[in-house]
């Protein structure tokens, strides 16, 4: 059986760590890219199929290194999961500054462009490949106070690339609702009212719970593998009914 290779950004923590686990358990070779060196090395120690690349996914050089690693070690690269992202404190637009605006778009949008520039030509030459980009239900059902985040996630140009590179490379999105990750903890804080804030978020979701990392990892597995071989240019909402 031919080895399959996946790159997962932000693979050391949150959704990315569980996505990495899902592929690892299925026997894939997984290259995780993360700026957290300590967590990245810890994740790579889980098993011999996980390989850590310390790098910044907003930089083209990092993607060239990821491609070189996959090509030199395994001779192929099958899947890219653009999972890394950031949010910010909940507050209206007029209270935010230009630095937060620029950082949010830089981290949430630029890696989509950089990854495609580096990886798509290789996949086209290879004859196949899949991108799964993590967006957000904030694009279509925004919560106030997260305008920059919502807008940056809406800028993930998956549908256009699905048209540009079909039939060789497939591009799909997953739109999670709020997930049980460190990003959520940063959003609700750790003060006495943090549980009340979490309850308010859960009350917005018809299923009355936030997304668990495995909910997202299972959806990524579906869109990244041959189970979805005729699916491209779509956004799969994994949101507990939030988008209805």
For residue range 6-44, list pLDDT tens digits in order: 999 999 999 999 999 999 999 999 999 999 999 999 999
Q: What is the mean pLDDT of residues 60-86?
A: 97
Task: Please determine, for residue 87, whether its predicted confidence score (pLDDT) is greater than 90.
Answer: no
Q: How far apart are CA 99 and CA 105, in angstroms?
A: 10
Residues in the chain: 244
Look at residues 90, 98, 105 and name the one whose alpha carbon lies nearest to residue 151.
105
User: Where do the domains of the chain lie, and which CATH numbers do they carry?
Assistant: 5-178+212-237 (3.40.50.720)
pLDDT at residue 146, rounded to an integer: 84
What DSSP assignment string belongs to 135-181?
Answer: --GGGTSPPTT-HHHHHHHHT--HHHHHHHHTTTEEEEEEEE-SBSS
Residues recognised as catalytic: 149
Under the banding of pLDDT at 50, 70 and 90, the label for residue 89 is confident
Q: Residue 73: pLDDT above 80?
A: yes
Q: How far does CA 159 lie from the centroid of its chain?
A: 16
For residue 186, what pLDDT is reported? 62
Instruction: Say yes or no to pLDDT of 188 above 70.
Output: no
5-9 and 50-54 as β-strands: parallel, antiparallel, unpaired? unpaired
Convert the pLDDT of each residue in 191-216 to its tens digit: 667 777 777 777 778 878 878 899 99
pLDDT in tens, 216-230: 999 999 999 999 999
Binning pLDDT at 50, 70 and 90, where does residue 157 land? confident
pLDDT bracket for residue 187 (50, 70, 90): low
What pLDDT band is residue 1 in, cutting at 50, 70 and 90? Answer: low
> What's the start-to-end Cα distance of the chain, in Å?
41
């Amino acid at each position: 059986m031919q080895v399959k290779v996946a790159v997962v950004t932000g693979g050391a923590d949150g959704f990315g760590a569980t996505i990495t686990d899902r592929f690892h358990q299925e026997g894939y070779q997984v290259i995780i890219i993360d700026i957290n060196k300590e967590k990245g090395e810890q994740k790579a120690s889980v098993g011999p199929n996980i390989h850590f690349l310390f790098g910044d996914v907003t930089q083209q050089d990092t993607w060239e290194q990821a491609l070189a690693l996959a090509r030199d070690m395994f001779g192929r690269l099958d899947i890219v999961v653009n999972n890394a992202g950031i949010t910010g404190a909940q507050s209206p637009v007029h209270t935010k500054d230009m630095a937060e605006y620029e950082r949010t778009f830089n981290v949430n949008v630029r890696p989509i462009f950089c990854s495609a520039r580096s990886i798509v030509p290789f996949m086209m030459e290879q004859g196949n490949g899949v991108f799964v980009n993590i967006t957000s239900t904030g694009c279509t059902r925004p919560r106030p106070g997260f305008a920059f985040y919502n807008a940056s996630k809406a800028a993930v140009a998956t549908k256009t690339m699905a048209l540009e590179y079909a039939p060789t490379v497939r591009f799909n999105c997953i739109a999670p609702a709020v997930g049980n990750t460190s990003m959520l903890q940063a959003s609700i804080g750790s003060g006495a009212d943090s549980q009340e804030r979490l309850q308010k978020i859960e009350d917005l979701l018809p299923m009355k719970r936030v997304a668990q990392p495995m909910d997202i990892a299972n959806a990524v597995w579906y869109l990244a593998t041959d189970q979805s071989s005729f699916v491209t240019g779509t956004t799969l909402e994994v949101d507990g009914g939030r988008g209805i």
